[in-house]
Structure 1
Amino acid sequence: MKTNLALTLALLLAACTSQNYELAYVNDENGKLDIFLFDSKNITDTLLISSENTKYNMVWSSDGKSLYYTEYKQGSRSIMRYNLESKENEELLSDTLTLTLNDVSRDGKTLLVSSGRDQVKGEIYSYHQPTKEWFRLTKNELYESGAKFSPDESQVIASIQTQVGDSIYRSGIAEIFQINVPNPINQKQLTSLKHFNALPDYSPNGEQIAFHHCDTGNCDIYVMNADGSNQVNITQGIDDNRWPRWSPDGRVLAFTKTLDGNSEIYIWNSSTKEITPLITSPKRDEIAEFRPKN
C-alpha cells in the first residue's frame, strides 16, 4: 500500500528525534481489513496477516515477536496469535459474538478479554491460558470494554458503562475506571466527562493515561494523569479521533483520525504537542499499535 513517504520522513526527522518505530495497523486496501506493519526507519509497509475475515483489536507480545488479535468470523469471534518469525497463526480462544481481545500480560500467559459468557453485553475477564481459568473483573450488567494492564499489572483500566442510551446520551455514558486486579471489587472512577469515554492506554511509565471521549458524534483524544487528574483534550474537536496508543518510549501517541470519511493514522508529540499525519492512504488506516523494542 502507499503512504505519504515525504511527509512521513519529515515527521520522523522533526518530531521523533531519530527514534525508529514499527506499528501494526489495519487497512482495507484489499477489500477487507488486513494487518500491516509500518517501519518508520525504512519507510516501508509489510502485509502481515491476510484472510477473508475482519481482523481488529491488536496487541503485541512484550518481546514484539507475536501479534495477538481478534478475528471476526461468521457467527463467532476468535482470539488469534501470529508469530512473526514462523509466520504461523494459532487460535487461542473461540466464543460468542462478544468475545474481544483487550490486552496480554507481559509473560503472555494471561489475556484480558471482553466476553458474553455471563451476560450478553459482555464483561471483562482475565483468562489464564495454561490453566484455562477465567476470572471476572467487572459485573454491572451493562457494557465494558478496552481493558489494559498497568505497567506493573497490579491494576487494569477499562471503559465501563454507567448509564444506558437515552435521548440525550444516545450511546449511553461510559467512564474510565481503574480496577484492582487482586480485588476487582475495589474500583476507582477516573473520569466524569459524561458521554462515552473508551479505549484507555497507560503510558509506558504508568504516569499517564490516554483515552478517547465522544460526545457530539465525533471523538477527541484526552491525556490525563494516572489518578484521573489534569485531563487535557489534545485534539480539540477537530475531526473524529479514536484509539490512542503510546509509543514504547512514551514520546508519541498514535491515534486514528477520520477526515472527510477516510480514517488515517496520526501522531501527537508529547514534547512539542504537535499533531501530524503518519500513515495515509485512500483506504482505511486504523488502530495503530506500536511494536515493543526487542
Structure 2
Amino acid sequence: MNASRFASITFGMVLVALLSDVIPLTHLYAQVRPKMQIAFVSNREGNSEIYVIDGDGKNLRNLTNNPDTDRDPAWSPDGREIVFSSFRHGGIGHGHSAIYVMGADGKNVRRLTYNPEGAGQPAWSPDNRQITFSSYRYHAGDSGPQIYVMQADGANVHRLTDHSALDYHSAWSPEGRRIAFQSDRNRLVWLDDDIYVMEANGKNIRNLTEHPGRDRHPMWSPNGRRIVFASIRVGNFGGGNFDAGNYDIYTMNADGKNIRRLTKDLNDEILPAWSPNGQKIVFSSNREGNYDIYMMNANGTNIRQLTNHPADDWQPTVTFSVSPVGKRTTVWGRLKQAEK
C-alpha cells in the first residue's frame, strides 16, 4: 500500500470516528446563544393581558390582545407554548376562569378546561405531558380550591389534593416526581400559608416551611436543589394579629432547610421565578410605587428593573429560546467528549 493511499484511508477512519461523536451546530448554538424571554401580566392597556419581553426588558409584545382578563402565564418546558387562565369565554360575569394554551407567539389559542367552577394557576410538568392547576369544584365536593392535574390536551382531569384548606400555586420539580404548592392547612393564625411538597400522584404531603407568617408562590430551581418563594415572616404573628410588614423573596433547600432571605426592601417582592439556567430570579415588586418586573442574581445581588410603566406588571415567568441563526444544521460541531 502506497503512502498516499494509507494516508487517505487513515483520514477517512478518523473522520468517521469523529463525526459519530459530534453534536450538530444546532445543538451547540442552543447552548451558547439562548435568548431569554419573560412572559408576564400587565394591565397597561386597561385590562389584564399577557406580554413578553426579552431578558433585557426590551422588545415588548402583547400576546393575548383580548378584551377579557388573561393571567397566570407559564411556559412549556420546550418554550414553544404558554399555558394561562382567561375569562374570555364569558366567565368573568360568573367569577370563573378557564385554562387555555397558546403558541409562544400568541397564536393557536386552545381552551383546555370547561368545568363551570373555573380553574387557574396552571403549571407544566417537565416532560410537557401534564398540567397542574388550582380549581374550586364545589359541585364535586371541594371545600376550597384544590390542586388538579390533567393531560396537556385537557384530558383525564383528576384531583391531587383533598383538604378543607386552600391549596394554590402548584410547581413541578425538574425531574417530575414532586409538586410544591402553597396551603393554609396548618393555619395557626389568619392568613397563615406554608409551602408544601407532595409526590406527583398527590401522596406523601409534607410541610416545608411551617411558619406562622405567609409563605407563597413556590418555584423549583432548575437543578431541583432549591425552592424560591415569597414570604412575610418578619413581625408579630401571635394572638391572631397580622402586623408583619411586606413580602420578600427567600430560597430554601428542597427539604425546607437552609432558608435564605434574598431581598430586604420596605415594599413587596412577590411571584418569583427562576431562569432556566438557575442563574437569575425574576419577580414583581412595587418598590417604585406600582408593580414592575425585576431581575436579580440567584443570590439576591444585582437587582435590575426590567419594566417601568405606571400600570402594574406581575406574574413573570422565564424561558430560553434559540435565536434563528441557531437553527442551521451543519456537520461541524463540538465533540461530546468535551462535555464529560
**How high is the TM-score relative to the length of structure 1?**
0.85
Q: Which residue of 2 aligns with 1:159?
A: 182
The one-letter code sitting in structure 2 at the alignment partner of 1:105 is S
Deviations 1:121-150 (A, max 9, x none): 211111135683233221221100011110
Preserved contact between residue 38 and residue 54 of structure 2 (Cα < 8 Å): yes
- State how far apart, in whole Å, the 2-side matches of 1:121 and 1:272 are: 35
Report the Cα distance in structure 2 between the residues aligned to 1:277 and 1:85, rounded to whole angstroms: 24
Cα gap change, 1:131 to 1:174, in 2 (>3 Å):
closer
Q: Which residue of 1 aligns with 2:114?
A: 94
Where in structure 1 do 4 or more consecutive aligned residues deviate above 4 Å? none
With over 3 angstroms needed to count, the CA separation of the structure-2 counterparts of 1:131 and 1:210, relative to structure 1, is closer
RMSD over aligned CA atoms reads 2.4
Aligned pairs for 1:117-128 (under 5 A) are 117=137, 118-128=141-151
- Does structure 1 residue 103 correspond to structure 2 residue 123? yes
Partner of 1:174: 193
Q: In 2, distance between residues paired with 1:97 and 1:130?
A: 19
Residues 1:266 and 2:294 aligned together:
yes
Q: Which residue of 1 aligns with 2:18?
A: none
Q: 2:278 aligns with which of 250, 254, 257?
A: 250
User: Which amino acid in the other structure matches residue 80 of structure 1?
Assistant: Y
Q: Which has the higher contact order (CA 8 A, sep 6+)?
A: 2
Cα deviation for residue 77 of structure 1 reads 0.9
Deviation at 1:262, TM superposition (A): 0.5
Long gaps (5+) in structure 1: 1-17
Bigger Cα Rg: 2
Contact 2:56 2:306 (C-alpha < 8 Å) held by counterparts: no
What is aligned with 1:218?
246
1:6 counterpart residue number: none
Distance of 2:127 and 2:288 partners within structure 1: 41
For 1:95, the aligned partner's letter is N
Matched, 1:59 2:74: yes
Asked whether the equivalents of residues 41 and 72 of structure 2 are also in contact (C-alpha less than 8 Å), the reply is no
Structure 2 Cα separation of the partners of residues 131 and 281 of structure 1: 35
- Contact kept? 2:83, 2:122, Cα under 8 Å: no
CA shift, 1:274, in A, is: 2.6
Q: Secondary structure at the match of 1:162?
A: coil
CA distance in 2, matches of 1:84, 1:57: 14
Provide the rounded CA distance (Å) in 2 between the counterparts of 1:230 and 1:272. Answer: 15
Return closer, same or farther for 1:135/1:42 CA change in 2, 3 Å cut-off. closer
User: Partner of 1:287 in structure 2?
Assistant: 315
TM-score normalised by length of structure 2? 0.74
- 1:37 matches 2:56: no
1:123 touches 1:144 (CA, 8 Å); kept in 2? yes
Higher helix share: 2
**How many residue pairs align between the two structures?**
273
User: 2: distance between equivalents of 1:261 and 1:233?
Assistant: 22
Q: Output the amino acid matched with 1:220.
A: D
Query: By how many angstroms is 1:52 displaced?
Result: 1.4
